């Protein structure tokens, strides 16, 4: 296997909530967090917009207080977002809204920014879904490059000792991942000092390399 290839587990999840305008901000934050955990932070803006429009569609056409569920999964290499509600009659419609219209744009936005979307009707509910391209070569791949791959492999080994409750095949929470990273860096600094090296100098050189590589990538 190529050393630059690794698997990033992305387990499907769902979140029940009551459709209220004030819930949208929280859902957007949840999506931003999970996209970071899944290694897809570059999708945050467009995914948050999709969630906003799909939930707003429930608010407008079904009503506030509707029991609703947000579900996120991988559909091949696409990211799939679903919003489920209990009204199989109020169907989302793609309208040609005029410039001055204040409504009717929701599904037009979804249609413009996603690969595809649709509605699944059930006996007593419906699922409005959309899928976005991720740029992944495989559902468990990542777009972070070889350095990210090596970091993930190192942390996977390291956390088995420092954080045994975090399974090697499950995504780490951000707080746990950051703690493991800090522990690893501190141990490496102790190793440098024990071998007569200057930890501050090494940190400065590492920061310089990091800044240069980030600058080249941007």
Per-residue pLDDT, 149: 65
Per-residue pLDDT, 183: 86
Q: What is the pTM of this model?
A: 0.63
> Residue 95 CA to chain centroid, in angstroms?
29
pLDDT single digits (tens) 131-183: 999 988 778 876 666 676 677 777 777 766 666 655 444 444 567 777 888 88
Q: Tell me what the pLDDT averaged over the chain comes to.
A: 83
Alpha carbon separation from 86 to 16, 69, 160 (Å, rounded): 12, 10, 43
Question: What residue numbers bound the domain in which 212 lies?
Answer: 145-217
Mean of the pLDDT values across residues 193-209? Answer: 92
CA gyration radius for the chain?
A: 22
Q: Take residue 155 and report the two structure tokens written for it.
A: 């942390």
Residue 184 within any structural domain of the chain = yes
Locate tokens 């920061």: which residue?
207
Kindly state whether residues 97 and 22 are assigned to the same domain. yes
Number of domains in the chain: 2
Residue 50 within any structural domain of the chain = yes
Q: Are 4 and 146 in contact (CB under 8 A)?
A: yes
Task: Compare 134 and 106 and report the one with higher pLDDT.
Answer: 134
Give yes or no for residue 99 having a pLDDT over 80: no
Q: What's the half-sphere exposure (Cβ side, CA atoms, 13 Å) at 213? A: 11
Kindly state whether residues 80 and 165 are assigned to the same domain. no
Choose one of 96, 111, 133: the last residue of a domain. Answer: 133
Kindly state whether residues 28 and 64 are assigned to the same domain. yes
Angle 183-185-189 from CA coordinates, rounded to 5°: 115
Residue 159 within any structural domain of the chain = yes
Kindly state whether residues 37 and 128 are assigned to the same domain. yes
Q: Take residue 11 and report the two structure tokens written for it.
A: 């387990």
Residue 97 within any structural domain of the chain = yes
pLDDT single digits (tens) 31-63: 999 998 898 999 999 999 999 999 999 999 899
Per-residue pLDDT, 121: 92
Q: Rounded distance, CA 162 to CA 156, Å?
A: 10
Q: Take residue 42 and report the two structure tokens written for it.
A: 């570059």
Torsion, Cα 123 126 131 137, to 10 degrees, reads -40
Per-residue pLDDT, 137: 77
Dihedral sign from CA coordinates of 7, 8, 11, 12: negative
Kindly state whether residues 129 and 158 are assigned to the same domain. no
Kindly state whether residues 90 and 39 are assigned to the same domain. yes
Kindly state whether residues 27 and 127 are assigned to the same domain. yes
- Could you tell me where the DSSP H helices lie in 38-173? 44-61, 106-113, 145-162
């Amino acid at each position: 296997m190529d050393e630059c290839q690794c698997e990033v587990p992305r387990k499907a999840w769902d979140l029940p909530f009551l459709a209220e305008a004030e819930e949208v901000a929280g859902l957007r934050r949840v999506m931003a967090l999970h996209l970071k955990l899944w290694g897809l932070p570059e999708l945050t803006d467009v995914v948050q917009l999709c969630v906003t429009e799909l939930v707003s569609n429930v608010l407008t056409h079904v009503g506030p207080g509707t029991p609703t569920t947000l579900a996120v999964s991988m559909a091949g290499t696409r990211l799939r977002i679903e919003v489920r509600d209990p009204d199989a009659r109020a169907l989302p419609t793609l309208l040609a809204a005029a410039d001055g219209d204040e409504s009717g744009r929701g599904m037009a936005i979804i249609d413009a920014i996603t690969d595809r979307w649709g509605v699944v009707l059930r006996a007593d509910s419906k699922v409005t879904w959309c899928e976005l391209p991720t740029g992944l070569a495989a559902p468990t791949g990542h777009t972070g490059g070889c350095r990210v791959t090596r970091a993930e492999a190192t942390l996977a080994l390291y956390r088995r000792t420092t954080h045994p409750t975090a399974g090697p095949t499950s995504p780490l929470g951000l707080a746990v991942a950051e703690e493991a990273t800090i522990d690893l860096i501190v141990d490496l600094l102790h190793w440098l000092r024990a071998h007569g090296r200057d930890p501050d100098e090494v940190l400065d050189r590492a920061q310089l390399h990091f800044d240069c590589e980030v600058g080249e990538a941007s």
